[in-house]
Structure 1
């Protein structure tokens, strides 16, 4: 759901990219190549869909649904699709726009009277369009810890707490990716339609689109036998490095944020979705429309410029000249062509959706791991195929780029340990114990248990860990759930020797931005 940078194929013959024809048909050796890639990169399973000139020309699964199990991925195997679902939430809004029930530039407070941002002026001016384009003034990933890695909060309560998150910049002044305002969009759909986001999307988007295997609720996905299991690497120093492991699929993101990325889908269903996108809203059977051409035009029109940070060698040519965010879609250029795309990631699964409108070509790539090198590499190899670019081993290049980043992070962490100052905490253990709360996240509790401190994020089920002294009044929390990102926990002590504030930040320099510990400020509560 959260949008990771998917930079994590090695061809069948080392050093030689597979041969792509310059036009029309999918690569002749696509099956052979994908099988080689997932084997060499350690990705358990993958699904690939390609649409050309309005027809699904490829929809196929590769590998297995779960490491150690024989069940194969096929064209109907469903994967969580993460933030690629933002385009589906936008399509749901488009249905309501076409029916005249809302307008893209309606004020949010006209449909959710209790909606409130930190700043009163922004509250009054925020439009439905603003919810979708990451220009609200919120910081990168602000508020994600209300649903990452899990949550007990309702969507309505999550939306209510938005008022406590301080902006990082002024309203509409720039781009910063967020998930939280898509949760607001989902609540708006419910308030306008009378159906919750899950039901409305299933009945008004997925079913008309012919996406019969797709789901909007975790319980429905878990009830589907033909589904993947998530995988990640966690034992190599930090997340993303080490041995591939199967994750617990039920320790999933909070449903409160499902409008930002809670759809699960298959290769066959993605075929229908890509057909509809290329046809500007027309249904594949030719018997109607999901949304209007006007809505399609709105969804693909750039709204806010995205900063361009040049990639280094060996992937420098992946740097766009133009990059912007539209309504649930990224818009950029590559080899002179306009590319409409969006990546998506939930823990242990990643997806990439790419449209080349001028060529009437689109494709989706799904993997049941976090090894995004496969997604980014295959994306550029397919783009080169359809845009007539030279043959190139993009996966190998992305793998080299990832290797350098990982080594840099490992070096950083090693240096942090050598530079740690010999010191003692200023308080006894019981001096740090108590109940604390952050205005938007809510309560935590620190308890002294058997000679150690334990930290409990009360509204995130099973997010409990042990505090290990780092230096001075800073500790590291090592969560019982190894999939949760370790963090520094720093205590502020007042003149009376009592804790008056707690701040946090992720330990790993490559931690996903959704672990927005740095936005938290805990203060003592009653009994703390």
Structure 2
């Protein structure tokens, strides 16, 4: 056989075999192990797909500190807000079947739905539920499920009518979770199945994601699950000793459509392949959703503001930043990427797609240390887009220290030394009583053993002691150290009785889901 003919045959075979696969970054295992050691993170899992195949799926570290079980590719992790894209996929299946349309009015599909403004109630579409332009403030209403809740999803959705908007409808971007609860309730109204059941039967199972779960009961039945970890004994959350947290003390299931899935690295690989294939299943014999639905998912809807970054992180700044349907769309060094991050109590996750390279990857972590996750994400982006390696975790870690030091200084500046023996201006019994906020609901304050105690009655375990701070302000120190401390300020009527309680998070770095500032408690008027 002549050399030209042999070369032509070789090229033909390669063409039939499909695009060549690039190896994962050299030394990836050692790099991940080094990050776990440097940052004191218990473990994580990484999956990478390219050209329709999983090229790397592996776990690192341990599922739970103090126990020997290792993380592997089948260990499931709560993936928080990365699950929003799955709720969108569930809606997409209904769009494909002609049962709903993206621009249907919510009130036509979910009778009884109501926002604070009647005009917004009439005009809000299914698309509006998904793209963070409702006019609600950042994280508004999240205390309906943070840190936990005994409310049903239907009742949580009903209470949205009491949350006042921060801006006008469709005028800007503010991230929320509560409207994804509405999307989940809408799925139930249209199909007769709960969000949990519909997502399991119409998204996870058809996608072949058989280890993944949509409810806590299934998650806790899986012995190969990661455990949450956090740092709670420092001056602010995120500083101190890494410890295992109570895994049953997570976010309320009423908010599961906003991020209630638990997924393994192997299953996430299938999700990445389906997304990159625009809805086509990996085996090539069917679809999860249509190409039209895929196009809708990735089409930018709401512009996000781009905040300036320090010089050390300038290269990571986007030229454009937007939110689509359950995904963020931005650029990395001029290349479009589709991605989303997620943070839950004790967990973190990122899911990233690079469409032009037909590459996707996900990083799942069983701790709240965001630096190694985002740092590794940036390194993988650089690798697959052909840029020189940069030590992003070190850069991000240095900037994080600056942020923490600034927060500690602010906390110190706002701390008023309480004089020995200082007492509140009124007897503790004056502050005690039952109070209610229009959207959150009831709290109870009582005096017990000479201490003023507080109970957020619809958030199980959100009980603590009010320590006197200054004037008519107290600091809530929760028995559950996972919960962010808060200041409570009592205002008085001319008669010297409490007529209002306002709250504020103590930590300058408190997660926005602790939206204490949106609460406005007033005394419960006795019946009769």
Contact 1:434 1:527 in 2 (8 A): no
Give the CA deviation at 1:390.
1.5
Q: Deviations over 1:44-99 (max 9, x none)?
A: 01100000111110011000000010000000000000000000000000000000
- Tell me the distance in 1 between the aligned counterparts of 2:185 and 2:418: 46
In structure 1, the residue matched to 2:4 is none
Tell me the equivalent position of 1:519: 518
CA distance in 1, matches of 2:308, 2:315: 9
1:426 aligns with 2:425: yes
- For structure 2, the 5+ residue unaligned runs are 1-20
Q: What is the CA–CA distance in structure 2 between the aligned matches of 1:425 and 1:188, rounded to whole Å?
A: 48
The 3-state SS of whatever aligns with 1:95 is helix
Residue 317 of structure 1 is aligned with which of 310, 315, 324?
315
**Which one has a bigger Cα radius of gyration?**
2
For the Cα contact (< 8 Å) 1:435–1:527, is it kept in 2?
Answer: no
1:486 matched to 2:485? The reply is yes
- How far apart are the structure 2 equivalents of 1:408 and 1:313? 18
- 1:505 paired to 2:483: no
Q: CA deviation at 1:102?
A: 0.2
Q: Counterpart of 1:99?
A: 97
User: CA deviation digits over 1:420-470, x for unaligned, max 9?
Assistant: 799753311000000000000000000011111000000000110000011
> Which residue does 2:339 correspond to in 1?
341
* Range moving further from structure 2, 382-391 or 78-87: 382-391
CA deviations on 1:353-396 (whole Å, 9 max, x unpaired) are 00000010000001100011011100110000011111110000
What residue in structure 2 maps to residue 196 of structure 1? 194
What is residue 8 of structure 1 aligned with on the other side? none
Residue 527 of structure 1 and its aligned partner are, at CA, apart by 4.7
Alignment partner of 1:518: what SS? Answer: helix
Q: Is the 8 A contact 1:281 1:296 kept in 2?
A: yes
**Structure 1: where are the runs of 5+ without partners?**
1-22
Q: For residue 13 of structure 1, what is the aligned residue in structure 2? A: none
**Corresponding residue number in structure 1 for 2:15:** none
SS of the residue aligned with 2:198? helix
Shift of 1:25: 1.9
- Aligned position for 1:475: 474
1:395-419 alpha-carbon deviations (Å, 9 max, x no partner): 0000001111111111111121257
CA contact (8 A) 1:300 1:331 kept: yes
Q: Residues of 2 paired with 1:462 and 1:526: CA distance?
A: 25
CA distance in 1, matches of 2:417, 2:526: 36
CA distance in 1 between partners of 2:311 and 2:226 (Å): 34
2:416–2:470 Cα contact (<8 Å) kept: no
Decide which of 327, 338, 363 is 1:365's aligned counterpart: 363
| Distance in 1, Cα, partners of 2:502 & 2:485 | 14
Q: Residues of 2 paired with 1:357 and 1:473: CA distance? A: 56
C-alpha distance in structure 1 between counterparts of 2:465 and 2:416, whole Å: 22
CA distance in 1, matches of 2:179, 2:229: 28
Q: Is the 8 A contact 2:280 2:289 kept in 1?
A: yes
Asked whether the 8 Å contact 2:42–2:366 carries over to 1, the reply is yes
**Match of 1:138?**
136
Q: Quick one: which of 382, 391, 399 aligns to 2:397?
A: 399
Give the CA RMSD over aligned residues.
1.2
1:456 lines up with 2:448 in the alignment = no
Task: Say if 1:499 and 1:418 are closer, same or farther in 2 by CA, change over 3 A.
Answer: closer
Q: Which residue is 1:299 aligned to?
A: 297
CA contact (8 A) 2:319 2:334 kept: no
Instruction: Please report how far the alpha carbon of residue 336 of structure 1 lies from its aligned counterpart in structure 2 after TM superposition.
Output: 1.4
Specify the alignment match of 2:178 in structure 1. 180
Aligned to 1:117: 115
Q: Considering Cα pairs closer than 8 Å and 6+ residues apart, tell me whether 1 or 2 has the greater RCO.
A: 1
SS in 2 for 1:376: helix
User: Is 2:131–2:325's contact at 8 Å kept on the other side of the alignment?
Assistant: yes
Query: Counterpart of 1:252 in 2: which secondary structure?
Result: coil
Q: What secondary structure is seen at the aligned counterpart in 1 of 2:218?
A: helix
The answer for the alignment partner of 2:434 in structure 1 is: 435
TM-score of the two chains, using structure 2 as the length reference = 0.94
The residue number in structure 2 matching 1:82 is: 80
Q: How far apart are the structure 1 equivalents of 2:294 and 2:486?
A: 42
- Aligned position for 2:277: 279
Q: How far apart, in 1, do the equivalents of 2:317 and 2:231 lie?
A: 27
Structure 2 CA distance for aligned equivalents of residues 25 and 171 of structure 1: 47
- Is 1:230 paired with 2:228? yes
| Equivalent in the alignment of 1:265 | 263
Runs (4+) of structure 1 moved beyond 6 Å? Answer: 419-423
- Partners of 1:309 and 1:425 lie apart in 2 by 42
* Alignment-derived partner of residue 9 in structure 2: none
